[in-house]
Each structure stands twice: as C-alpha cells, then as structure tokens.
Homo-oligomer: A and B are copies of this chain.
Amino acid sequence: MDETQPRRGGRPRSERAREAVLNAVDDLLVEEGYAAMTMKGIAERAGVGRQTVYRWWSTKAEILWEASVIDARDELAVPVSGDQVKDLNAYLVALVAFLTRSPAGAAYRALLGEAQHDTEVAALIATQDVLGDSARRVLDAHGRADAKATALLVGPAVYWTLIGKDPKSLPRAAIVDAVTAYLAAKPGSRRTQ
C-alpha cells in the first residue's frame, strides 16, 4: 500500500541494519566528531556492509540528518506559559542549549556548515527549517508568526553561537524586545487587535 515500488520479490530491507547505521552515526558523532566520520567507519561501526549503507543513503550528511536532526524537534519544543517575554526567553535558552550542548545540535551545526559548500546538503536542510519551525511554534502563541519574526528571534542566537561567543552573554532581553516590538507593530497581529 505504502510501497512505491511493486516489490516483486527479493529479500526485504533489513530494519536491523538501518538502525545499526543510525546508532553508529549517533555514537561516532559524539565520540569522534563530524569531520572524522567516514562512510567506511560508519559501516564498520554498525557491523554492516558498505554497500548496504550506500544503498539507502548517498552521503554521511543524509544519514546524519535522519539520525540526529529530526530529534531536534523534541529538544526545541518548549512549553508555552502565555507570558510572552517569559516564553521567548525560555525558547532562547533552549535554542542556545541545543546549539552548544546537544549532539543533535552539533549535527545541525555541522550540516549547516556543510551546506555552505555542498548544494546537496543545502537542499537537504532546506526541506525543513528546523530552527524556524520551532520558533514559529512559540511565536504562534503570541501573535501571527512569520518568517521575519523567526529570523529576528533565531538569527542573533545562531550567529552568536556560530562565531563561538559565550552563550551566557547572549543579549536575550534585546532580542525579546525586538521580537515583541515587531509583533506589536505588525498589522493583523492578535496582540494589536
């Protein structure tokens, strides 16, 4: 039913192999880092043939995306209290924690970096704006969120992190003020109604 190919016979894909690869990537990212990860290393760590890896994923970026970055949704989902300033601050804290301390965040940063000189990776991360979407969920509770508002909220934190500045000194208050002002000024926002 959900099979795109007619499946006319042959051994089915091994779920065991798929999970072993994803776990291997998770482990290797933490233990060795993105740069030291190789397709060869992933296959060996997973106890899987190299062809099996290539059969289902083209690049290590693709595996990493499947293995780690989807998890990002959970880590970036913050509860909404109704207090806008409090909620935006809480989101910024979660965002910075994700980017600087979480393995999934490390994976996201690596992929974001790779995308700058690899169009295939760029296309991959363009399929889903992981950070923007998480921001939108918070903003939606306090006004009509749009891409512009998410950029005001997420952009400074991402930049601060990427250039390696101390997360603790991130100007959260100024960011929250900017977003609040934008939402307030925005025609059609719930607040202004």
Interface residues of A (CB under 8 A from B): 33-35, 106, 109-110, 112-118, 122, 125-126, 129, 131-132, 147-149, 151-152, 154-160, 162-165, 169-171, 174-175, 177-178, 181-182, 185
Question: Given that A155-B155, A178-B152, A178-B181 are contacting pairs, would A117 and B34 also be in contact in the complex, using a CB cutoff of 8 Å?
Answer: yes
Main DSSP-derived SS at the A contact region: helix
CA distance A114 to B112 in the complex (A): 10
* A-B residue pairs in contact (CB < 8 Å), sample of 14: A106-B116, A109-B116, A112-B113, A113-B113, A113-B115, A115-B164, A125-B163, A151-B156, A151-B170, A151-B171, A154-B156, A156-B156, A162-B162, A177-B185
Cβ-closest chain B residue relative to A165? B147
Cβ-closest chain B residue relative to A37? B117
Nearest first, the 6 A-B pairs at minimum CB distance are A113-B113, A155-B156, A178-B178, A148-B171, A155-B159, A155-B155
